[in-house]
């Protein structure tokens, strides 16, 4: 049967509803497309809504974990419980061997915290289908009945799982039917990117300060954001949203040398994508940014589409290095001489780099350069939120 496939924004809505109703949700999808990050983002949002401090349980020190256990009403936790790394006793605990005629169980610390009445958070079974069936079976009771042995988890704790599909070649186990029927299911589609960078990976990348060279390159080569990998492809490094944003972007910050850039891109997203990326970056060498900064009207001399994207990337990078009103004024002056879609992308990117400055009263009411470019770009929407 065909399973519902959704984009990231729809997944967020479904995930919020599942958390609110305490219905277990399984998120399926290819590797590196944002399944885990979406769960993290919604967990953090939920903590804010409840007025609790957000904590990632797995990153806490032992001392910090005790603080959460002692003051459960203060925190909202995200527990990443990788079943592929545990044995059944890690879930239920161990018998307490004493002189009594019955057995008492010493439960694991995470379960103790999750069972406290005032606790709230998410137990996240990431990569659950990497675990063998014997381990998956240990979670049946927890997922359906919200209990492990004789220990029930708090009413304010939600259960979420994620995993790759068989076709993703991730060496996963088939999910047993008894476990499947304990979840609701949704598939996360691969992210996309458009020239507008609206409601897509491009918008997310701008908000999360991904290197502008990567964004403008992928706008032109969207198929390289998350391409389908053939069965015969034995490459270890392949293009994924994670590879572009979390690996390549921080590694190339401040790097200009093309040879170094190609090597860094190769280890993050593969040699083929790296070669295309560097070929695109060579275009920037043909643009005299200093000349355009001195005379913004020179921006109108850039005609080719790929060169215009390269110019947008250069100006955005220049602005992002210590944003100021003077730099914003110059950026608006340059945008005035760009085609509407490129001016829109440039303004969208600089707004994300320093939103408070961009939306300041001095900018919107006093800069003539802003008024000039705003008159040209009617479709550009300014959010005051």
Question: Is residue 301 one of the residues assigned to a domain?
Answer: yes
Q: Are residues 229 and 147 in the same domain?
A: no
What would the pLDDT profile of 106-154 be if each residue is shown by its tens digit?
Answer: 788 999 999 999 999 999 988 887 777 777 777 788 888 898 888 899 9
Question: Who's near 383: CB < 8 A, 6+ residues apart?
Answer: none
Mean pLDDT, range 177-203, rounded to an integer:
90
Q: In this structure, are 14 and 111 located in the same domain?
A: yes
- 136 and 16 in a common domain: yes
Residues 59 and 85 in one domain: yes
Answer yes or no: do 366 and 344 share one domain. Answer: yes
pLDDT for 152-179, tens place per residue? 999 999 999 998 876 656 566 677 788 8
Residue at 234 is within a domain? yes
d(CA 303, CA 292): 14
pLDDT, residue 106, reads 78
Say if 360 falls within a structural domain.
Answer: yes
Whether residue 215 sits in one domain with residue 80? no
Residue 184 domain-assigned? yes
**pLDDT over 90 for what percent of the chain?**
56
Check residue 103 and give its pLDDT: 66
Please report, for residues 309, 314, 319, 354, the alpha-carbon distance to residue 293 in angstroms, rounded to integers and kept in the order given. Answer: 16, 11, 11, 20
* Cβ count near 83 (within 10 Å): 22
Indicate whether 106 belongs to any domain: yes
In angstroms, the CA 331 to CA 264 distance is 30
Closest alpha carbon to 198 in 383, 339, 332: 383
Same domain, 183 and 205: no
Helix pair 212-220, 340-353: axis angle to 10 deg: 150
Q: What is the pLDDT of residues 313-334, one digit of tens each?
A: 999 989 988 899 999 999 999 9
- The arithmetic mean of pLDDT across residues 376-384, rounded, is 54
Looking at 138, 166, 188, the residue that finishes a domain is 188
**CA atoms within 13 A of residue 39's CA, in its CB half-sphere:** 28
Q: Are residues 367 and 294 in the same domain?
A: yes
pLDDT in tens, 64-103: 999 999 999 999 999 998 877 666 666 666 666 666 667 6
First to last CA, the chain: 42
Within a domain: 226: yes
Cα separation of 161 and 138, whole Å?
A: 14
Report how far residue 284's alpha carbon sits from residue 265's, in angstroms, rounded to the nearest whole number: 17
For position 53, which CATH number holds? 3.40.50.300
Q: By three-state DSSP, how is residue 124 classified?
A: strand
Domain that holds residue 21: 5-188
Q: Is the pLDDT of residue 385 over 50?
A: no
φ/ψ of residue 185, rounded to 5: -135, 140
CB-neighbour burial class of residue 157 (10 A; exposed 0-12, middle 13-18, buried 19+): buried
Which of 158, 188, 218 is the endpoint of a domain?
Answer: 188
pLDDT at 155: 95
When pLDDT is averaged across residues 205-226 and rounded to a whole number, the result is 93
pLDDT at 131: 73
Model pTM above 0.75? yes
One domain for residues 81 and 220: no
Domain membership flag for residue 384: no
* Higher pLDDT among residues 87 and 264, named by residue: 264
Residues linked to residue 327 through DSSP beta bridges, in sequence order = none
Q: Does 326 map to a domain?
A: yes
Mean pLDDT of the chain: 87
Domain tally, the chain: 2
pLDDT of 48-61, one tens digit each? Answer: 999 999 999 999 99
Query: What pLDDT sits at residue 258?
Result: 95
Which of the two residues, 364 and 253, has the higher pLDDT score?
Answer: 253
Residues 208 and 174 in one domain: no
Query: Domain check: are 157 and 25 in the same one?
Result: yes
Last residue of a domain, one of 150, 166, 188: 188
Determine contact, residues 80/40, Cβ cutoff 8 Å: no
Name the pLDDT band for 282 (thresholds 50, 70, 90). very high
Co-location of 206 and 183 in the same domain: no
Q: So what's the pLDDT on residue 354?
A: 85
């Amino acid at each position: 049967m065909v399973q519902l496939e959704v984009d990231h924004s729809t997944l967020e809505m479904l995930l919020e509803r599942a958390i609110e109703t305490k219905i277990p949700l399984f998120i399926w999808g290819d590797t590196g497309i944002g399944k885990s990050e979406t769960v993290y983002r919604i967990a953090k949002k939920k903590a804010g809504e409840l007025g609790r401090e957000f904590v990632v349980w797995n990153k806490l020190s032992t001392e910090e974990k005790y603080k959460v256990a002692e003051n459960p009403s203060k925190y909202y936790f995200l527990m990443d419980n990788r079943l592929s790394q545990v044995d059944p006793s890690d879930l239920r605990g161990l018998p307490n061997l004493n002189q009594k005629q019955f057995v008492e169980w010493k439960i694991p610390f995470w379960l103790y915290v999750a069972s406290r009445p005032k606790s709230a958070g998410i137990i996240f079974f990431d990569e659950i289908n990497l675990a063998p069936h014997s381990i998956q079976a240990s979670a049946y009771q927890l997922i359906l009945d919200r209990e492990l042995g004789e220990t029930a988890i708090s009413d304010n704790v939600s259960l979420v799982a994620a995993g790759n599909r068989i076709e993703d070649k991730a060496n996963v186990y088939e999910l047993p039917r008894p476990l499947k029927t304990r979840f609701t299911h949704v598939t996360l589609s691969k992210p996309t990117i458009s020239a507008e960078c609206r409601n897509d990976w491009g918008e997310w990348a701008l908000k999360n300060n991904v290197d502008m060279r990567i964004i403008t390159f992928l706008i032109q080569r969207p198929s390289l954001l998350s391409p389908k990998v053939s069965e015969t492809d034995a490459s270890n490094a392949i293009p994924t949203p994670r590879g572009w944003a979390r690996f390549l972007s921080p590694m190339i910050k401040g790097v200009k040398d093309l040879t170094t850039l190609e090597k860094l891109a190769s280890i993050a997203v593969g040699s083929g994508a790296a070669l295309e990326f560097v070929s695109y970056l060579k275009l920037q060498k043909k643009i005299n940014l200093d000349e355009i900064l001195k005379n913004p009207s020179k921006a109108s001399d850039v005609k080719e589409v790929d060169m215009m994207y390269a110019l947008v990337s250069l100006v955005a990078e220049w602005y992002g290095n210590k944003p100021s009103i003077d730099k914003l004024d110059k950026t608006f002056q340059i945008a005035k001489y760009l085609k509407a879609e490129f001016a829109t992308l440039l303004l969208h990117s600089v707004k994300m780099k320093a939103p408070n400055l961009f939306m300041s009263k001095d900018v919107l009411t006093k800069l003539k350069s802003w008024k000039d470019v705003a008159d040209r770009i009617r479709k550009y929407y300014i959010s005051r939120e």
